[in-house]
């Protein structure tokens, strides 16, 4: 049984592991120093400060969606839990809570882009990620943000 629930501080270690595992396959182009900096931000800022929802697979936290206003600031799911509908369940939950959503995804993140395309997100813009120089795609669902 999969449960979606509000983030608790005791989820942090399990979610960092899920985040790191997902980052390895979705963002292999990112430099290790940047990934380590982001891991620290994940623990101290992103998880506790956003409206973060956790999904459990058989009682274990395996992923999360972090919502900031109308933006999905982060959606990460341990790759061992891919293809079970859990990512879709997290996005469904975010949209049910907040309505139309948008997010930014690295152009080189093939895994994430395929997921968002299948879900129905539409590209609405492009920019350069300041810290990495990588191309970011802005995609939206249910709006033209």
Q: What are the tens digits of pLDDT across the range 78-104?
A: 999 999 999 999 999 999 999 999 999
Q: Is residue 50 part of a domain?
A: yes
Domain count of the fold of the chain: 1
Confidence at residue 145, expressed as pLDDT on a 0 to 100 scale: 52
Tokens 């990588």 appear where?
Answer: 134
Confidence at residue 82, expressed as pLDDT on a 0 to 100 scale: 92
Q: Is residue 66 part of a domain?
A: yes
d(CA 83, CA 77): 10
Inter-residue contact 45 to 66 (CB < 8 Å):
no
Task: Specify the CATH number for the domain of residue 28.
Answer: 3.40.630.30
Confidence at residue 109, expressed as pLDDT on a 0 to 100 scale: 96
Inter-residue contact 63 to 87 (CB < 8 Å):
yes
| Token duo for residue 99 | 């309505």
Domain that holds residue 44: 2-100
Q: Is residue 32 part of a domain?
A: yes
- The average pLDDT across 36-56 equals 95
Confidence at residue 2, expressed as pLDDT on a 0 to 100 scale: 82
């Amino acid at each position: 049984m999969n449960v979606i629930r509000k983030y608790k501080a005791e989820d942090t270690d399990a979610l960092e592991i899920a985040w790191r595992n997902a980052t390895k396959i979705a963002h292999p182009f990112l430099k290790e120093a940047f990934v380590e900096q982001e891991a620290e931000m994940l623990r101290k800022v992103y998880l506790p400060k956003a409206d973060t929802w956790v999904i459990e697979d058989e009682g274990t936290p395996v992923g999360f969606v972090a919502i900031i206003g109308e933006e999905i600031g982060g959606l990460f799911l341990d790759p061992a839990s891919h293809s079970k509908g859990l990512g879709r369940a997290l996005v469904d939950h975010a949209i049910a809570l907040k309505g139309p959503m948008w997010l930014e995804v690295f152009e080189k993140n093939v895994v994430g882009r395929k997921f968002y395309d299948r879900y129905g997100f539409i590209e609405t813009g492009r920019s350069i990620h300041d810290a990495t120089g990588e191309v970011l795609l802005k995609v939206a669902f249910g709006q033209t943000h």
